[in-house]
Structure 1
Amino acid sequence: MTSLHIEPATPADVPTILQLIRELAEFERLLHEVTATEEQLHEQLFGPKPKAEVIMGRLQPGGEVAGFALYFHNFSTFLAKPGIYLEDLYVRQQYRGRGYGEQLLRRLAGIALERNCGRLEWSVLDWNQRAIDFYKSLGAAPMNEWTIYRVTGSALQKLGNGR
Structure 2
Amino acid sequence: MNKRKNGFAVRWAEAEDAGVIWELIHRLAALEKMEDQVTATVEDIRISLFEKKQAEVIIGEAAGEPAAFALFFHHYSTFLGHANLYLEDLFVREEYRGRGLGRALLSRLAEIALERGCGRLDWLCLDWNAPAISFYQRLGARVLDDRRVWRISGDRLTALAGSKSV
TM-score (norm. length: structure 2): 0.93
User: What is aligned with 1:55?
Assistant: 58
Q: Is 2:98 the counterpart of 1:94?
A: no
Preserved contact between residue 75 and residue 83 of structure 1 (Cα < 8 Å): yes
Preserved contact between residue 7 and residue 56 of structure 1 (Cα < 8 Å): yes
How many angstroms apart in 2 are the aligned matches of 1:128 and 1:138?
16
How many angstroms apart in 2 are the aligned matches of 1:158 and 1:138?
42
Residue type of the partner of 1:90? F
Structure 2: tracts of 5 or more residues without a match: 1-5
Return the offset for 1:3: 2.4
Residue type of the partner of 2:94? Q
In structure 2, the residue corresponding to 1:126 is in which secondary structure? coil
How many angstroms apart in 1 are the aligned matches of 2:142 and 2:162?
37
Q: Is 2:7 the counterpart of 1:11?
A: no
Percent same amino acid at aligned positions? 48
Could you list the per-position Cα deviations for residues 112-153 of structure 1 after superposition, in whole angstroms to 9, with x for gaps in the alignment? 000001210000000001101110111111010100001111
In structure 2, the residue corresponding to 1:42 is in which secondary structure? helix
How many angstroms apart in 2 are the aligned matches of 1:125 and 1:27?
11
Residue type of the partner of 1:11? A
User: What is aligned with 1:78?
Assistant: 79
Could you list the per-position Cα deviations for residues 86-130 of structure 1 after superposition, in whole angstroms to 9, with x for gaps in the alignment? 000000001101010000001001100000012100000000011
Selected match of 1:46 from 50, 68, 76: 50
Structure 1: tracts of 5 or more residues without a match: none
Return the offset for 1:25: 0.4
Q: Give the CA RMSD over aligned residues.
A: 1.2
In structure 2, the residue corresponding to 1:75 is in which secondary structure? strand
TM-score (norm. length: structure 1): 0.95
Preserved contact between residue 7 and residue 57 of structure 1 (Cα < 8 Å): yes
Size of the aligned set, in residue pairs, is 159
- The ranges of structure 1 where at least 4 consecutive aligned residues each deviate by more than 4 angstroms after the TM superposition are none
How many angstroms apart in 2 are the aligned matches of 1:109 and 1:27?
25
